[in-house]
Structure 1
């Protein structure tokens, strides 16, 4: 019997492009707006204006010689002009490249050269920092300064031309003949934070950005619609603000951009002024905001109803405090630069309530359909989704990178899957619970101790503001946990009291013997606990460690 004939689809082959997000936002949702924090209040622009400015920026960049495929970098806070660049650069066929302003200078110059950035758009408030970097950025030819500059920037021996953002866009047309592009063409790029070795570049396609925008807007993920106003605390230079700018133009949700005003007090004032109902940021930001509201109960952040928290594990005590004290639901999420970045989000299934709902919410979340996941055991076998088997998480999907820019790293990829470096379990219904990073898990006497679990229990103590646990060498057991804690102002608790607090919450053999009191836990450029630095400080004898037998 002859095999059945495969018939072609009758669907139109319309490419998924950033320009379509731009056009959708500025036409169907022209009245939605981006609100940007200023030193004295806020400023606003509707999406129709943002779209016209994006067109003017595209004309300006083309006039500077930017061509399809060229990299246009940004050195900016979250604000209206950064949003305009996010839209204009990929829509015209070039590649938007947000530079992480919090990286070390040598990392930033390496990244700019590795990406071959030709133009950099810089916020005026960041000009003093950027001026010191510019001589090492060998491929940059044009610098565009947004807003008033805190100090002058001199051209580098005639190699670099400096422009003012406002004057450069003045009198440019408010429309642009956006090209039809291959949806698999590069649209944006971000570099990993580079805690070990050089940062690695991830290049996103138009297709991946469009699909990611659709995905994160779904009800079981961020549940974004035109009725929302999104507080984008997570920086645009950190995994593209978790996709919020593009999702906003896809759905018509308005945006609230805090610019450089990220300390708890100005952030609280901005929330009160801009009235967002949803937000996204790392745990340290939400912790600082909660502490501020406790100290200043007149603070009005009542518009905020839910917020996504990611970048590192959020202490359960903080999630419960937001819900019980502030009426704000914190939603755990998991992701990484290589995953565009959202890979899972923790909403409890319909019908789950009470502690049953918390069991889901305290996980890192459920995978959406486009994200395939598997757990790999130490012996290379694929482990079951049973909520008990612990292995390294590997993922693949249409918005997950399959390689790095100009950097062959076969150890990071396995049979077409991305090795995340995260260790954990997956339940039968697809909820991920992370217990550690591969590089951070504590291997004590042949058994694993979860540093994250110890940290979460310690941060539930009312006297503890932050806790970070790392593995340190031990002659008898190979490795043992070192617990470092930051106490709340005016609080006092002994290490022995904290040991007793852990009793019954973890196995007795997992309780740390080594303790250190810190003024602050060192953090990476994206706000995660910098465990590499802590381990080095311990090895170099820089920590005052109390050993309790």
Structure 2
């Protein structure tokens, strides 16, 4: 058979050749809408590859983006990959110290960014030591600031042949949220990305086709936008991108562009459903929704089903590219009652070909698939991480099993259900908050003897942090002052929704802080005004 290396540029080549007029719609932050197609995206990608080489960039160099979802960002993915570079998507929600670390650790040479992030970029420029050139995707009309993207690539003619190489060459880099210590880089390969893409379009995963109109409500800086920018050109989907996630904007795009497929975290869907119920608007063309990032409330699953929309859970992480499982339907699904369907979909789905799952006990012994035995969830496969970027040791065991940090059980039919998390982290709106870093920041405030952060159920964000504090003897701490101190140490969205003062925190026999006992102690705790909505969702 012919040798045809699995490199991602073949995706955009295919789209250009077979789906050239396939539409790509962008709703920009200023409210404007632009339209382009796969042929133009491929052309812009070639011009960008030329422009990078003109800057002296070469194969293996890291090219960073700090941007939301739009067609220019899409072109930059293929432009960076096309000249043999490694695309590093940076999460603008990270705290400045983390932004400094990951860009310098990645040794990024070029940064392309949205004008909305210009103040952040200007503040970070003195701290980013390896970035040589800054390009603004959407510069202001007055021309003040860094070179604009279209102006930059406009100097090139697009007569360019993609850099070839081994299919195991790196193509992308994404850092985890750094729940313990510094963020860790996950380096994706052309081969791993292509195999993940082939799986994603399958009927039991995202069910994509030429007739699909896809609007991912997940940012391109987060875990490859769940692979949609790679899968859409393979299938020739119409792609709708937006930098504005407000529900009225989203619903307008769904309606006007006749969106059939979408994916996002539960927080986004809660906001959308609330808006639809209040406004009376409808998503008439929407056929399939994929929910990931955190568990979807049963009431949300039921709402989609009752409105004739197929809904499925997906589970994954940065380290799994990110798809690990997705909600496929069993034989005889049409005979399930609505309650049975809701219960089934509330699980995190089944693995596609290319992923293996198992659960193990504390001694590493594999547990049965009985739907009752919970253990540490491990996975392996060709798009699952083996070693973090620049790490000296593998992140897997000798049999290539990667420990996800989740606790789960596997059912006899192969469906997986997350039951707990092994790490002391808080998941809010699909993003991790490090309880350890929040605690360390709190203890650095005068008068705090000890602090612990735990996740409390929240109707919109899944979880939000509660900070439990022990005062030093004789000290009177003002909660507002402590919150102001934390605001200088952690990202704004990490700040606790409430601070409670206690005489002491629970500890284990070895002197370690017991989060388990603390969560039990505050199991009935509710944030102000959240309890009624939470009970409604649980029903």
TM above 0.5, one fold? yes
Identify the residue that residue 494 of structure 2 maps to in structure 1. none
Identify the residue that residue 42 of structure 2 maps to in structure 1. 51
Question: How far, CA to CA, are the matches of 1:36 and 1:520 in structure 2?
Answer: 35
| CA RMSD across the alignment | 2.8
1:319 to 293, 301, 311: 301
Identify the residue that residue 373 of structure 1 maps to in structure 2. 357
- Say whether residues 1:13 and 2:23 are aligned partners: no
Q: How is 1:147-546 mapped onto 2 (pairs within 5 angstroms)?
A: 147-149=138-140, 162-259=146-243, 261-297=244-280, 299-324=281-306, 326-352=307-333, 353-354=336-337, 355-408=339-392, 413=397, 415-440=399-424, 468=463, 474=506, 514-518=524-528
Question: How far, CA to CA, are the matches of 1:153 and 1:100 in structure 2?
Answer: 25
- Alpha-carbon deviations, 1:465-517, whole Å to 9, x = none? 5664889855799665778xxxxxxxxxxxxxxxxxxxxxxxxxx89654132
> Residues 476 and 12 of structure 1: is their aligned pair in 2 closer, same or farther, counting only changes over 3 Å?
closer
> Residues 469 and 440 of structure 1: is their aligned pair in 2 closer, same or farther, counting only changes over 3 Å?
farther
> Residues 519 and 170 of structure 1: is their aligned pair in 2 closer, same or farther, counting only changes over 3 Å?
farther
SS in 1 for 2:126: helix
CA contact 2:360–2:377 (8 Å) conserved in 1: yes
Question: How far, CA to CA, are the matches of 1:393 and 1:513 in structure 2?
Answer: 25
Question: How far, CA to CA, are the matches of 1:83 and 1:441 in structure 2?
Answer: 32
CA contact 1:124–1:145 (8 Å) conserved in 2: yes
CA contact 2:65–2:113 (8 Å) conserved in 1: yes
Identify the residue that residue 486 of structure 1 maps to in structure 2. none
Question: How far, CA to CA, are the matches of 1:519 and 1:97 in structure 2?
Answer: 40
SS in 2 for 1:393: strand
> Residues 61 and 476 of structure 1: is their aligned pair in 2 closer, same or farther, counting only changes over 3 Å?
closer
Identify the residue that residue 59 of structure 2 maps to in structure 1. 68
SS in 1 for 2:254: helix
- Alpha-carbon deviations, 1:29-60, whole Å to 9, x = none? 11212110033342110111111111111111
Deviation of 1:296 after TM superposition, in Å, equals 0.9
- Alpha-carbon deviations, 1:231-261, whole Å to 9, x = none? 11111100010000000111111111012x1
Deviation of 1:281 after TM superposition, in Å, equals 0.7
Gap runs ≥5 in structure 2: 427-453, 469-504, 532-539
> Residues 520 and 205 of structure 1: is their aligned pair in 2 closer, same or farther, counting only changes over 3 Å?
farther
Question: How far, CA to CA, are the matches of 1:92 and 1:475 in structure 2?
Answer: 54
Question: How far, CA to CA, are the matches of 2:320 and 2:287 in structure 1?
Answer: 26
> Residues 111 and 67 of structure 1: is their aligned pair in 2 closer, same or farther, counting only changes over 3 Å?
same
Question: How far, CA to CA, are the matches of 2:73 and 2:65 in structure 1?
Answer: 8
> Residues 151 and 393 of structure 1: is their aligned pair in 2 closer, same or farther, counting only changes over 3 Å?
farther
Question: How far, CA to CA, are the matches of 2:225 and 2:317 in structure 1?
Answer: 11
Gap runs ≥5 in structure 1: 1-10, 155-161, 443-454, 484-509, 522-549
SS in 2 for 1:223: coil
Question: How far, CA to CA, are the matches of 1:175 and 1:350 in structure 2?
Answer: 51
CA contact 1:90–1:96 (8 Å) conserved in 2: yes
* TM-score (normalised: structure 2): 0.79
Identify the residue that residue 498 of structure 1 maps to in structure 2. none
CA contact 1:348–1:358 (8 Å) conserved in 2: no
* TM-score (normalised: structure 1): 0.78
Question: How far, CA to CA, are the matches of 2:394 and 2:246 in structure 1?
Answer: 40
- Say whether residues 1:136 and 2:127 are aligned partners: yes
> Residues 458 and 141 of structure 1: is their aligned pair in 2 closer, same or farther, counting only changes over 3 Å?
closer
> Residues 414 and 320 of structure 1: is their aligned pair in 2 closer, same or farther, counting only changes over 3 Å?
farther
- Say whether residues 1:104 and 2:85 are aligned partners: no
> Residues 383 and 402 of structure 1: is their aligned pair in 2 closer, same or farther, counting only changes over 3 Å?
same
Identify the residue that residue 537 of structure 1 maps to in structure 2. none
Moved more, 268-277 or 464-473: 464-473
Identify the residue that residue 485 of structure 2 maps to in structure 1. none
Deviation of 1:12 after TM superposition, in Å, equals 2.0
> Residues 142 and 153 of structure 1: is their aligned pair in 2 closer, same or farther, counting only changes over 3 Å?
farther
